[in-house]
Structure 1
Amino acid sequence: TSHLSSTGHITRSPARNPLSFRIMQAKVTLLDGSLFTCTVEKRARGLQLFEQVCEHINLLERDYFALSFRDADNNKNWLDPAKEMKKQVRGVPWNFSFNVKFYPPDPTQLSEEITRYFLCLQLRQDIVSGRLPCSFATHTILGSYTVQSELGDYDPDECGPDYISELSFAPNQTKEMEEKIMELHKTYRGMTPAEAERHFLENVKKLSMYGVDLHHAKDSEGVAIMLGVCSSGLLVYRDRLRINRFSWPKILKISYKRNNFYIKIRPGEFEQFESTIGFKLLNHRAAKRLWKVCVEHHSFFRLVSPEEPPKKFLSLGSKFRYSGRTQIQSRRASAQISRPAPHFPRCISKRNMLSRSLDGGTYHTSIPCGWGLGFLSATLPFYSRVEPDPPAGLLLSSQTFTSETSTTSTTTHITKMVKGGISETRIEKRIVISGDTEIDHDQLLGHPGKVIWKLINWTYFLLG
């Protein structure tokens, strides 16, 4: 541009670099709390930034991870690797977080130690934030393995009486918990960091909320619930109690319209017709986010390979498709990794010494008997389920059976009665959980078979 100066001469302002309009600075918060900054073109796809981050942290098993960002309404969104970033991140700074997106059902099958470590870091964040609830006992065991992983063997010459007081292990951490963690940590002499992380992962995967992505919703009666998406299907929670589970093989179709989210259920053994269940989300964007998460989780965990995108002249409605590798493809690729095990620092100071954000651990099988049963009796709030009382009628007989395991106490009450001239037998089970092992509801659903899904418009169909 030109300007007329006070002396009458024409001056020209310095030419701007045209590249400056096309380049953006992206900031990515990594799982260890450090910040990675890089430049990317506005028109670059999300995959370009994701690959830069993975190269920076030396990660090869990338398919379980993704980049997330907060939109203008502070809602968490996953960066689509196949879509231009400028079309996804609107009106907010280009600040991202590197997170686990797909939690492997058996994390010990991951090939590289560095991958397992990053998964541990994510799970520790989940535990401290309260997204992954644990009992007092489990918090203690998990914390002890975290200390062993990050600090190594207990050394009385270097460790003071409160050497873990600056670390965080639970949302409501107590002095008693820290003492139990230190007591256990002292018994792990000789355990390597990799072994401690394997113990952590082997046990944390048993927690009922492991890998569950929660979304606020309401049921058909307007009651507030939470919908959880995980590797096995869709879960429904009300008042911190899981009230229903729909496995992927049981779901025929998922769809959304406006702020409503629908699932069509395969008929049961004694049913003739399919049933459709609807849920109400906050708005259209929330319904679409939930739908996309369901599509991605089903594609990753259930399909052999991702679907081919439809031809353009057949494309209707949403064009979204899961574009990454499936878990089967990822495992095959991991088996081909031949590089030496990479060396990486476990920098605890970035995460914990300043911000008290450490968390993590594993379920221990040999708890000192001196801690007593009271320490083990912390129950999980998600599965304390009591059935409603039986209807009134003429009681014919009543029987009660009780069975106990190391983690549960089950009372079965069988009543036979006559109501309205009809003989009725009622079986009521009350289960008290004294550990973190989830009740195996999956036995009622059978083993999932081979399924193929097709995406049409904003609907996800099961073809066979």
Structure 2
Amino acid sequence: MKIPKVLYLGLNWTRKFRTKAYKKNHQTASFMFLAKFYPEEVAEELVQEVTQHSFFLQVKQAILSMDVYCPPEASVLLASYAVQAKFGDFDEDTYKPGMLASEDLLPQRVIDQYQMTLEMWEERIRVWYADHRGMSRDEAEMEYLKIAQDLDMYGVNYFPIMNKKETDLWLGVTALGLNIYEKENKLQPKTTFTWSEIRHISFDDKKFIIKPVDKNAPNFVFFSQKVRMNKLILD
């Protein structure tokens, strides 16, 4: 996936954040300039500092907003790299407990999972933070992304779908192919189609059809909620 940044960056519509807004008939649509396709190997593909920094901010927000699941230990380590990237080297003479209290560093799911105070979480982050002495902002952001790229939900765009039995499922679109997930489990796909295994993809109204390369294998058919969702999947 060695592609120039112009091909994997683009405008994404979002309800959560407002950066640029287009107003028409008193309605507001918000857009963000985001990576459309996640790089598989960040160290090799993110060669420009500005691209790396923008992508770091996007991935960090996805983890903190819990769009990408991150386990507790990894969350603490990622938080320490984020602190290093923002504040530079840890200084024992100037650091005081509570200095990181105003920073958004951990997913709320992680905080709620354990009976720990915010001060206790900060101390765990501080220990790792102190160990990153000498790292530049770019180096800390790259270490963050190297860990993030191994998370199960990294780089997956999820779309709600239904099968012929009207069972709710998720379709995950990745750089490697298409995954089908059960409604309550976005981590482990129940069915996977790599791009090399797919002969053709098409849709007719809300009906979406995946035709495997193996002509003896049955087509996979599912249904989306709206026609425009099928267009987004194929975009």
Q: Same fold (TM over 0.5)?
A: yes
| 1:262 paired residue number | 209
The alpha carbon displacement at 1:159 in A equals: 2.2
The alpha carbon displacement at 1:94 in A equals: 5.6
8 Å contact from structure 1 (residues 232, 247) kept in 2: yes
Match of 1:200 among 144, 152, 155: 144
| 2:71 paired residue number | 135
Identity across matched positions, percent: 28
| 1:186 paired residue number | 130
8 Å contact from structure 1 (residues 256, 291) kept in 2: no
Would you say 1:291 and 2:234 are equivalent positions?
yes
Match of 1:120 among 48, 56, 76: 56
Would you say 1:279 and 2:222 are equivalent positions?
yes
The alpha carbon displacement at 1:122 in A equals: 0.5
The alpha carbon displacement at 1:123 in A equals: 0.3
8 Å contact from structure 1 (residues 214, 229) kept in 2: yes
* Whole-Å separation in 2 of the counterparts to 1:279 and 1:61: 32
| 1:150 paired residue number | 86
* Whole-Å separation in 2 of the counterparts to 1:290 and 1:90: 26
8 Å contact from structure 1 (residues 236, 243) kept in 2: yes
* Whole-Å separation in 1 of the counterparts to 2:190 and 2:135: 40
| 1:101 paired residue number | 36
Normalising to structure 1: TM-score of the pair?
A: 0.44
* Whole-Å separation in 2 of the counterparts to 1:260 and 1:170: 39
- Equivalent AA in structure 2 for residue 105 of structure 1: E
2:219 is paired with a residue of what secondary structure?
A: strand
Which structure's CA Rg is the greater one? 1
| 1:51 paired residue number | none
Would you say 1:244 and 2:187 are equivalent positions?
no
* Whole-Å separation in 2 of the counterparts to 1:250 and 1:199: 33
* Whole-Å separation in 1 of the counterparts to 2:5 and 2:225: 35
May I ask how many residue pairs the two structures share in their alignment? 215
8 Å contact from structure 1 (residues 266, 275) kept in 2: no
- Equivalent AA in structure 2 for residue 213 of structure 1: N
| 1:219 paired residue number | 163
> Could you say if the C-alpha distance between residues 100 and 221 of structure 1 is closer, same or farther in structure 2, counting changes exceeding 3 Å?
same
**1:116-135 Cα distance to aligned partner (Å, 9 max, x none):** 11111000011011111010
Match of 2:99 among 158, 163, 170: 163
1:285 is paired with a residue of what secondary structure?
A: helix
Answer with 91-100 or 107-116: which moved more: 91-100
The alpha carbon displacement at 1:170 in A equals: 2.8
**1:187-229 Cα distance to aligned partner (Å, 9 max, x none):** 1111111111121122211111111111111122211111111
8 Å contact from structure 1 (residues 108, 116) kept in 2: no
Which structure 1 segments of 5+ residues have no match? 1-59, 76-85, 293-464
Match of 1:232 among 176, 179, 190: 176
1:125 is paired with a residue of what secondary structure?
A: helix
8 Å contact from structure 2 (residues 75, 107) kept in 1: no
* Whole-Å separation in 1 of the counterparts to 2:168 and 2:121: 33
* Whole-Å separation in 1 of the counterparts to 2:89 and 2:128: 11
Normalising to structure 2: TM-score of the pair?
A: 0.83
* Whole-Å separation in 2 of the counterparts to 1:261 and 1:145: 41
* Whole-Å separation in 1 of the counterparts to 2:125 and 2:83: 8
The alpha carbon displacement at 1:66 in A equals: 0.7
The alpha carbon displacement at 1:61 in A equals: 3.8
> Could you say if the C-alpha distance between residues 177 and 220 of structure 1 is closer, same or farther in structure 2, counting changes exceeding 3 Å?
farther
> Could you say if the C-alpha distance between residues 237 and 167 of structure 1 is closer, same or farther in structure 2, counting changes exceeding 3 Å?
same
* Whole-Å separation in 2 of the counterparts to 1:139 and 1:119: 18
- Equivalent AA in structure 2 for residue 278 of structure 1: V
Cα-Cα RMSD: 2.3
